[in-house]
């Protein structure tokens, strides 16, 4: 998230460099004879596979898609790299993804979220003083709501928590619109979840690395491709059933059967919630409860490529206050990083989900209404469009995990707990410290690889 209320910074070891080594000397131990199946070729699965291989395990990765990367997905059909899923290294200092980028000598650039021009409902840029006052009000209301919530004996939603506060104050129309814009930009888009669903107790439970957020002008998949080198990966192997016992693990896919002594499960929370993969025997009740309580947020992107630049070029972000409660609220200026005439609309929560049922022309029409209000009716229509649909993507069913009312940080621990020392669980949803981040997923893969290594050493 852009503004984390709780931060703790960790000293990392040298595993990041080791994770991308082309090969590591294998120990002549029992682990050399142990087979491990890794379910999923996202960054958690690849991190686990590479770490396990470095310890001498025999590793096979099974991936349902026809590509690796999972929710890291870089598209280049518009002439530049476009990250349709994960896009940022959140907090560059001591972040393992930042270290990987440096080790690989990849180009990364910082994003300044405060470098934003925000337009009001009249289409004109809003003065900095008004913006700063609105942000101060936003912080004050959230802080007050959280303080009041700590005194309650039950969890409530953010919407409920701030509702009473807003009812007790009088806001001018512009103030109310700006406050709603901040709530949408800072919380709904960031978590992919509406205020009516998010837990006021737990929504910002994560820790964070310090420093600016960075991105990859050349694409996040550069990290993925390097992690995958030398790993046996079988694509288009959609897992149907996972059987486990004290003798080992048997995995059935739509293409065949695989056996191993143990497995690392990196299935996204959305897939686990949908029950699309059968576990035999059933997962323990504590883990099922955690899966049910946690939820998946949705962040969808609307990529618009134009024939020319018509917006201010020196801003990282462009914000738009709308008359509608749910609408486009911000566009990321990709031109600033690649020189391509591209804006990327960032949408979250139920609004992002609703886009998946609309036609591309309708979505573009809605976006252009907002852009034309501020930049004039003469601006061109986009010449190319890409619209993501993460909620209906059957391999993830959402963008990243989130904390609805009733969920607890301990649910992430329950989700990560191994079963019978045969099934090990990784992925961003299993990270108590860094959920909903690439580095959280990466570190969870390393965590489970080390658990297995210790178990079979």
pLDDT above 70 covers a percentage of the chain that reads: 93
Q: Tell me the CA distances in angstroms from 138 to 60, 125, 182, 347, one per residue in order.
A: 48, 19, 7, 20
Residues 6 or more apart in contact with residue 393 via CB below 8 angstroms: none
Q: Tell me the CA distances in angstroms from 382 to 356, 371, 388, one per residue in order.
A: 19, 11, 16
- Across 253-268, average pLDDT: 99
Could you tell me how many residues make up the chain?
457
Tokens of 340: 């391509």
Q: Is residue 232 a contact partner of residue 61, using CB atoms and an 8 Å limit?
A: yes
Q: How far apart are CA 267 and CA 272, in angstroms?
A: 7
**pTM metric for this prediction:** 0.93
Tokens of 150: 């700590």
pLDDT recorded at residue 28 = 33
143-196 pLDDT per residue, tens: 999 999 989 999 999 999 999 999 999 998 889 999 999 999 999 999 999 999
Q: Does pLDDT of 4 surpass 50?
A: no
102-146 pLDDT per residue, tens: 999 999 999 999 999 999 999 999 999 999 999 999 999 999 999
313-334 pLDDT per residue, tens: 999 999 999 988 889 999 999 9
Q: Is residue 308 a contact partner of residue 343, using CB atoms and an 8 Å limit?
A: no
- For the chain, domains (ranges, CATH) are 35-72+96-103+215-295+398-456 (3.50.50.60), 116-210+299-387 (3.90.660.10)
């Amino acid at each position: 998230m852009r503004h984390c209320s709780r931060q703790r910074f960790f000293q990392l070891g040298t595993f990041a460099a080791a994770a991308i080594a082309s090969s590591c000397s294998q120990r002549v131990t029992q682990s050399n004879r142990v087979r491990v199946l890794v379910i999923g070729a996202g960054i958690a699965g690849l991190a686990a596979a590479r770490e396990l291989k470095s310890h001498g395990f025999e590793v096979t990765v099974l991936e349902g898609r026809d590509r690796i990367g999972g929710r890291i997905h870089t598209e280049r059909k518009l002439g530049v790299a476009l990250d349709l899923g994960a896009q940022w290294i959140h907090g560059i200092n001591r972040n393992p993804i930042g270290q990987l980028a440096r080790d690989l000598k990849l180009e990364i650039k910082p994003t300044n979220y405060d470098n934003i021009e925000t337009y009001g409902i009249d289409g004109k840029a809003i003065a900095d003083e008004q913006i700063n006052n609105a942000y101060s009000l936003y912080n004050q209301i959230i802080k007050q709501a959280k303080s009041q919530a700590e005194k309650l004996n039950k969890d409530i939603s953010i919407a409920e928590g701030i509702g009473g506060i807003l009812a007790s104050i009088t806001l001018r129309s512009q103030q109310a619109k700006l406050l709603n814009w901040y709530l949408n930009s800072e919380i709904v888009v960031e978590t992919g979840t509406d205020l009516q669903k998010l837990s006021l107790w737990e929504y910002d439970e994560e820790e964070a690395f310090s420093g600016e957020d960075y991105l990859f002008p050349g694409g996040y998949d550069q990290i993925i491709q390097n992690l995958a080198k030398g790993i046996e990966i079988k694509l288009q192997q959609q897992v149907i059933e996972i059987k486990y016992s004290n003798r080992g693990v048997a995995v059935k896919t739509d293409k065949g059967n695989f056996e191993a002594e143990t497995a690392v499960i990196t299935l996204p929370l959305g897939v686990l919630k949908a029950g699309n993969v059968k576990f035999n025997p059933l997962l323990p009740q504590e883990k099922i409860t955690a899966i049910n309580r946690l939820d998946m947020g949705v962040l969808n992107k609307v990529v618009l490529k134009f024939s020319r630049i018509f917006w201010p070029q020196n801003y990282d972000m462009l914000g738009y206050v709308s008359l509608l409660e749910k609408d486009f609220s911000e566009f990321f200026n990709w031109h600033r990083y690649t020189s391509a005439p591209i804006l990327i609309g960032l949408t979250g929560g139920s609004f992002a989900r609703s886009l998946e049922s609309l036609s591309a022309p309708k979505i573009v029409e809605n976006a252009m209404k907002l852009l034309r209000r501020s930049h004039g009716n003469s601006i061109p229509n986009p010449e190319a469009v890409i619209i993501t649909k993460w909620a209906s993507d059957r391999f993830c069913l959402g963008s990243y995990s989130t904390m609805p009312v009733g969920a607890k940080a301990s649910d992430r621990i329950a989700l990560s707990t191994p079963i019978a020392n045969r099934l090990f669980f990784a992925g961003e949803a299993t990270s108590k410290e860094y959920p909903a981040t690439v580095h959280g997923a990466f570190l969870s893969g390393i965590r489970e690889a080390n658990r297995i290594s210790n178990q079979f050493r």
